[in-house]
Amino acid sequence: MGKPYQRIDQVMDEENVVQNLEKTHSTAPKFIEPTPRKAEWQEEWNYFCQSIRSVEPRFDYSKADLKILCSMLSWVWRFKPYNLLGFDFEKGLFFYGSMGRGKTLLLRALKEYLLKLKSRWREAIDDDYRLGTAWYSASQIANDYAAEGQPELEQYYNRKTCLFIDELGREPNPASNFGTKMNVLQFILQMRYDNRRTSVTHVTTNLTLDMMAEIYGDYVADRCLEMFNFVEFAGPSLRQ
Ligand SMILES: Nc1ncnc2c1ncn2[C@@H]1O[C@H](COP(=O)(O)OP(=O)(O)OP(=O)(O)O)[C@@H](O)[C@H]1O
Ligand SMILES: [Mg+2]
Domains of the chain, start order:
2-233 (3.40.50.300)
**Does 103 contact ligand 1 (Cβ within 6 A)?**
yes
Q: At 1, is the pLDDT very low, low, confident or very high (cuts 50, 70, 90)?
A: very low
Contact 106, 75 (CB under 8 A): no
**Does 240 contact ligand 1 (Cβ within 6 A)?**
no
Is the pTM higher than 0.85? The answer reads yes
**Does 147 contact ligand 1 (Cβ within 6 A)?**
no
Kindly report, residue by residue over 174-206, the tens digit of the pLDDT: 999 999 999 999 999 999 999 999 899 999 999
Per cent of the chain over pLDDT 90 is 63
Which of 48, 63, 105, 232 for a ligand 1 pocket mutation test, highest count of atoms within 8 Å of Cβ? 105
Whether the per-residue pLDDT at 100 is higher than 70: the answer is yes
**Does 238 contact ligand 1 (Cβ within 6 A)?**
yes
Which of 238, 239, 240 for a ligand 1 pocket mutation test, highest count of atoms within 8 Å of Cβ? 238
**Does 204 contact ligand 1 (Cβ within 6 A)?**
yes
Atom of ligand 1 nearest to the CA of 63: 1
pLDDT score, position 27: 37
pLDDT score, position 37: 61
Q: Which strands sit side by side in the sheet containing 162-168, from one edge to the other?
A: 134-137, 162-168, 200-205, 92-97, 228-233
Atom of ligand 1 nearest to the CA of 101: 21
**Does 108 contact ligand 1 (Cβ within 6 A)?**
no
Whether the per-residue pLDDT at 28 is higher than 50: the answer is no
101 CA distance to ligand 2 centroid (A)? 8
Kindly report, residue by residue over 117-175, the tens digit of the pLDDT: 888 877 667 678 888 899 999 999 999 999 999 999 999 987 778 999 999 999 999 99
Q: What is the 3 state secondary structure string of the chain?
A: CHHHHHHHHHHCCCCCCHHHCCCCCCCCCCCCCCCCCHHHHHHHHHHHHHHHHHHCCCCCHHHCCHHHHHHHHHHHHCCHHHCCCCCCCCCEEEEEECCCCCHHHHHHHHHHHHHHHHHHCHHHHCCCHHHCCEEEEHHHHHHHHHHHCHHHHHHHHCCCCEEEEEEECCCCCCEEECCEEECHHHHHHHHHHHCCCCCEEEEEECCCHHHHHHHHCHHHHHHHHHHEEEEEECCCCCCC
Which residue's CA is the nearest one to ligand 1's atom 29? 239
99 CA distance to ligand 2 centroid (A)? 7
78-100 mean pLDDT: 92
